[in-house]
Structure 1
Amino acid sequence: MKLSQRLAAISQQINQHYQDIWDCCCDHGLLGADLVKRNSADCVHFVDSVPQICLQLEQQLQRYLPYSSSSLTAPWQVHCQDVAQLKLSENDNQLVIIAGVGGELCIQLLKGILVHNHTVDFELIICPVHYQYELRQFLLSNRFGLIDEQLIEENQRYYEILHLSTTANSPISQIGDAMWDLSKPEHKAYLNKTIAHYRRMDGKMTHPALRAYETLQEKNLLDNS
């Protein structure tokens, strides 16, 4: 099956060879299968906590991406487990991918991964469905630095793709920096939609994200006035 625009954008972020790639919450495994076919890693690990998903995925992989049992290293493995309990290899060149789940769940999963791998450096590609501001705050305060970020639109929904590393020195912006191109209508639409969301939120205290996004909007208006 052809990759969606979102998954294709994530795949394009992967332009080097890794020893291990961990495709977490992998669902149908389309992204991981693409990475196996591209020989992007010595081993692509498919990780999901739903037994039925893992069983069906393993059957599909054995059918379409078979490998000899005599191989010294398998090009893929399926792991039925909680991503928060993931134990990465001590090898260099580890990439963890978490995509297609909410930002709150991303934070819970990453808390577990960091606890179980506190001595391991790794790269992370993350693409949350929502709760991006709070997720960025968590990432900023937990070892991660920015490699790249991208904003894409797919089926009238917007996705922030962050490529990070525990060894990168560039700080993570709380609302994004490199991903914005406000000359593009879809970027303006996403910014306006995000501001409207925070303005609708209940409570006596203004959400700190609102002022940050409004400042970005005001700067863009001034730059184009």
Structure 2
Amino acid sequence: MKLGHRLTQLNNMIPTGYTHIWDCCCDHGLLGAALLARQAAPMIHFVDIVPPLMQQLENKLRRFYPLQCPPQWQVHCLDVAQIPLSDYPKTPLVIIAGVGGDLMIELVNSLCQQHPHRQIDFLLCPVHHQYELRQQLITLNCRVIEEKLIEENRRFYEILYVSRLTEDTAIATPQLRKPISPVGEQLWQVTSDKQRDIAERYLNKILGHYQKISRSSPQKAEQALQDYQHVSLKA
């Protein structure tokens, strides 16, 4: 099945080189299947907590991607917070997309707390609460690798490709020392009229959102509103 614009962008941002990629909250497994098709990693993990959905997905995977030796994929019906990262020594890529920023904060925070000495790379695409998610990523000592702003079906999406570093990995990977911006940096660097249009409309939507909140809860929106008011688009 053809990927939509959002999943295509996620797929394009994932480099080869990971040993294990975890496609979490994977729904119908479209992104993970695309990763399998292009052999993005030796092992692709599909994770969701809904048993019937995962059984259907496993049946499809067995049909279109028959298990080999060694296997190239594995289906896990469990809470994302419980994925067994400790069973695999190398840096994993954990993809979480299609859920709200509040749940995403909870999942990312839980994984980082359970594996405090592991470098974990995340590819995140929240439905909302992007500002709050960024605040938590900053608290968790994550560093930005790449970020994108896209529009699909009249909805805006921020895609955050980040790495949670420990003290040891921060020394070993100095290229990942750039901290995450509370409002994003690469999002506002436009190279075409189309990108400028998307960025301008997205920024106006965010400003309107926090201005509305500030009328009833000024303290809740004050910092976010100030941060976004200082955003300027750059060519």
Structure-1-length-normalised TM-score: 0.92
* 8 A contact 2:187–2:199 mirrored in 1: no
Any idea what SS the aligned residue of 2:96 has? strand
Query: Cα deviations across residues 75-118 of structure 1 (Å, max 9, x unaligned)?
Result: 00000000011221442231000000000000111122112222
Any idea what SS the aligned residue of 1:173 has? coil
Aligned pairs for 1:112-191 (under 5 A) are 112-167=110-165, 168-181=176-189, 184-191=196-203
* 8 A contact 1:87–1:113 mirrored in 2: no
Structure-2-length-normalised TM-score: 0.88
Q: What letter is aligned with 2:119?
A: D
Counterparts of 2:52 and 2:160, CA distance in 1: 29
Any idea what SS the aligned residue of 1:41 has? coil
Counterparts of 2:133 and 2:197, CA distance in 1: 25
- Greater per-residue helix proportion: 2
Counterparts of 2:89 and 2:39, CA distance in 1: 18
Does 2:211 align with 1:199?
Answer: yes
Any idea what SS the aligned residue of 2:186 has? coil
Q: What letter is aligned with 2:35?
A: L
Q: What letter is aligned with 1:179?
A: L
Aligned to 2:4: 4
Q: What letter is aligned with 2:17?
A: H
Which structure 2 segments of 5+ residues have no match?
Answer: 166-175
Partner residue of 2:228 out of 206, 213, 221: 213
Aligned to 1:48: 48
Q: What letter is aligned with 1:86?
A: I
* 8 A contact 1:175–1:213 mirrored in 2: yes
* 8 A contact 1:128–1:160 mirrored in 2: yes
Aligned to 1:67: 67
Counterparts of 1:207 and 1:163, CA distance in 2: 27
Counterparts of 1:129 and 1:27, CA distance in 2: 15
* 8 A contact 1:47–1:79 mirrored in 2: yes
Aligned to 2:94: 96
Counterparts of 1:8 and 1:198, CA distance in 2: 30
Aligned to 2:170: none
Counterparts of 1:66 and 1:166, CA distance in 2: 34
Which structure 1 segments of 5+ residues have no match?
Answer: none
* 8 A contact 1:136–1:172 mirrored in 2: yes
Does 2:80 align with 1:83?
Answer: yes
Q: Which runs of 4+ in 1 moved over 6 A?
A: none
* 8 A contact 2:98–2:126 mirrored in 1: yes
Bigger Cα displacement from structure 2, 155-164 vs 203-212: 203-212
* 8 A contact 1:90–1:120 mirrored in 2: no
* 8 A contact 2:26–2:32 mirrored in 1: yes
Any idea what SS the aligned residue of 1:18 has? coil
Task: Quote the offset at 1:162 in angstroms.
Answer: 0.6
Q: What letter is aligned with 1:198?
A: Y
RMSD, matched Cα: 1.6
Counterparts of 1:144 and 1:65, CA distance in 2: 34
Any idea what SS the aligned residue of 1:107 has? helix
Counterparts of 1:104 and 1:207, CA distance in 2: 19
* 8 A contact 1:87–1:117 mirrored in 2: no
